[in-house]
Amino acid sequence: MSQVIALVDDDRNILTSVSIGLQAEGFVTRVYTDAATALKAIRDNVPDLGVFDIKMPAMDGMELLRRLREGGGRAGAMPVIFLTSKDDELDEALGLAMGADDYIAKPFSQRLLIARIRAILRRAELSAGGEAADGGTEPEVPQIVRGRLAMDPARHRVLWDGREVSLTVTEFMILEALAQRPGVVKNRNQLLDAAYQEDVFVDDRTIDSHIKRIRRKFRGADPSFNAIDTLYGVGYRFGEE
């Protein structure tokens, strides 16, 4: 089945050219010229990935992402790539801090965008125990149970005390890297390696933003959540119980 990409941009020329390019690669595209329309459509029928322009009138791409993430569920966990203004480091930092999975600066090549989309979808498939790129099936990944935490990579599902916590692909991989070895400290570079492809270059402080988001989500299920320890100047660890 073809994977579905939601494209949100107020520039119709970009929407048209990107949509044609993605369709030529076998993707199904849904295009939206405003974020408010996209928000409702995505919640009603969740695509496999979203590509959002940041700078749009009325509601911008960051507000669209914020509302999706806050809503939780499949829409809240959907991978998102931001399109940013060229060399706008503030946009990039804010986008990643809010839970975007990647960003691409305009003007961009379609080849780069398609490569990034495939990389993120591949990560999502592997974390969910889906089909490999060569058509085979990845071995079933065992569940991770650490005290009150239960992670099911085959279903991209996280429970804390039996309550479901909705994480993005990137957040899931960071938590998985920590939970695999409780008590062992992982530095930021190790967590970046676990969460991002080799050709994606982000500041190591991005991990701090993701950890804050993970903690915030768990505290929505349990206000006393404190299972992720910070060792200042060193890194993070999942606390042993």
Domain limits, the chain: 4-127, 144-238
Looking at the domain that runs over 144-238, which CATH code has it been given?
1.10.10.10
Q: What is the pTM of this model?
A: 0.61
| Closest CA relative to residue 165, chosen from 215, 102, 115, 104 | 215
If you search the block for the tokens 């990039």, which residue do you land on?
92
Asked which of 55-59, 106-110, 143-147 is least confident by mean pLDDT, the reply is 106-110
Nearest to 132 by CA among 146, 121, 143: 121
Measured CA to CA in angstroms, residue 41 lies from 65, 68, 128, 160 at distances of 13, 11, 24, 30
Angle between helix axes 61-71 and 35-44 (nearest 10 degrees) is 30
pLDDT tens, position by position, 76-89: 889 999 888 755 55
Question: Is 40 a residue whose pLDDT tops 50?
Answer: yes
* Whether the predicted pLDDT of 134 surpasses 60: no
More confident residue, 109 or 50: 50
Q: What is the pLDDT of residue 228?
A: 95
> CA-CA distance, 47 to 27, in Å (whole number)?
11
Buried b (16+ CB within 10 A) or exposed e, 6-17: bbbbbeeebbee
4-127 topology per CATH: Rossmann fold (3.40.50)
* SS3 category, 64: helix
pLDDT of 132 above 50: no
What percent of the chain lies above the pLDDT cut of 70? Answer: 83
- Strands 149-152 and 4-8 turn out to be unpaired
Cα gap 197→31, rounded to integer Å: 27
pLDDT value for 133: 42
Q: Which of 91, 70, 95 is nearest to 81 (CA)?
A: 95
3 and 44 in contact (C-beta within 8 Å)?
no
CB 218 within 8 A of CB 160: yes
**Tokens read off for 196:** 């991002």
- Confidence at 138, pLDDT banded by 50, 70, 90: very low
